[in-house]
Structure 1
Amino acid sequence: MGKNITILALLQLSLAIVSSILISKMSFIGKIGISLMYKQYTVFKTPWKTALIIFGIQVFLILLLALFKRFASNKVSHTISFVFLVIGAIGAYYTYLDFTTTSHKYMKFYFHLGFYLFWFNWILSCIYFFFLKGKKKVTVDTPEDINQPMQPNLE
């Protein structure tokens, strides 16, 4: 499981870089708006800062899902993966609504694509953990079982 999660994290790193580059390609009007009015969003003008934020969120999600996969039952880990998948789908939908109904619609196609890619990556991690096989349960014989003679199965 560890090697596969490392591969997933490296994939998420490369996709976070692509997403941050796309986000930084915002429109000229968007850059002016961020510089003058919405200074809290200036991080989106710098690709490496945006990539760190996106990758940090993705790593947090991966660690959370990995912990549930390792320490919880398969039913619980599947439920958690599904819940986070639904959160990702809702996030993507609200991002779409925001980009089509507010002033963010003027931010340019690549800016939008960068955020859609973020949500796609989120959903990708959830699907990965949803289908990842959990660890096999090892049964330990109790002292009572050891002393019992084995009965042949005559069926």
Structure 2
Amino acid sequence: MLKRELSILVIAQTLLCLLSSYLISKISLIGKIGIAVFYKEYKWLRSGWKTFLFLFIAQLLVIGILYFLHRKRPKKTTVYTAVGILVLAVTGLWFTYNDFLHTYSHRLLKERFHMGFYLFWMGMIGSCVFFLVASALGRQRLIVEVKSENQ
């Protein structure tokens, strides 16, 4: 049952990463000039497919870790790891928002660029919530099965 939902999660993350990378690659003209002249290490952000690969691999890494833990380790481990990644993702979202709000050069990158990164963090939060719910539902299914066997 989890494999079907997991495939839906991966498809949703793929679409979210496509949208995020599209928005990030639509950086403002001033941002493009700034990356070309001053911040050359961020040149990959100007390319939609490179940005997609980076974001998608990061999302697949989180999904892969949580899936492995969900299948092979006790549910507690999955829950603790998912909560830890969730806290990191919420913190990343907050720091990203704060940075875009208070750093003048980042404000020049415009809202589409910002929204792309916000969507990335929201996708990571969604993956964590997915596995938290899957862990809780797995426990509920086990309780229902045990009760039906006892009757």
Shorter-chain TM-score bucket reads 0.7 to 0.9
What is the distance in 1 between the residues matched to 2:77 and 2:16? Answer: 28
Question: Does residue 112 of structure 1 match 2:136?
Answer: no
* Stretches of structure 2 lacking an aligned partner (at least 5 in a row): 143-149
2:146 corresponds in structure 1 to none
1:148 corresponds in structure 2 to none
Q: Give the root-mean-square deviation of aligned CA atoms.
A: 1.6
1:52 corresponds in structure 2 to 53
Q: What's the TM-score, normalizing by structure 1? A: 0.84
* Stretches of structure 1 lacking an aligned partner (at least 5 in a row): 138-152
Question: Does residue 61 of structure 1 match 2:62?
Answer: yes
Q: How many residues align?
A: 138
Q: What's the TM-score, normalizing by structure 2? A: 0.86
The answer (yes or no) to whether the contact 1:65–1:81 under 8 Å persists in 2 is yes
Structure 1 runs (4+) greater than 6 angstroms displaced? none
What is the distance in 1 between the residues matched to 2:26 and 2:111? Answer: 9
Larger Rg belongs to:
1
1:29 corresponds in structure 2 to 30
Question: Does residue 122 of structure 1 match 2:113?
Answer: no
Structure 1 residue identity aligned to 2:48? P
Displacement of 1:3 in angstroms is: 2.0
What is the distance in 2 between the residues matched to 1:89 and 1:63? Answer: 19
What is the distance in 1 between the residues matched to 2:13 and 2:120? Answer: 9
For 1:15, what is the secondary structure of its paired residue?
helix
Q: Greater share of helix residues, 1 or 2?
A: 2
1:145 corresponds in structure 2 to none
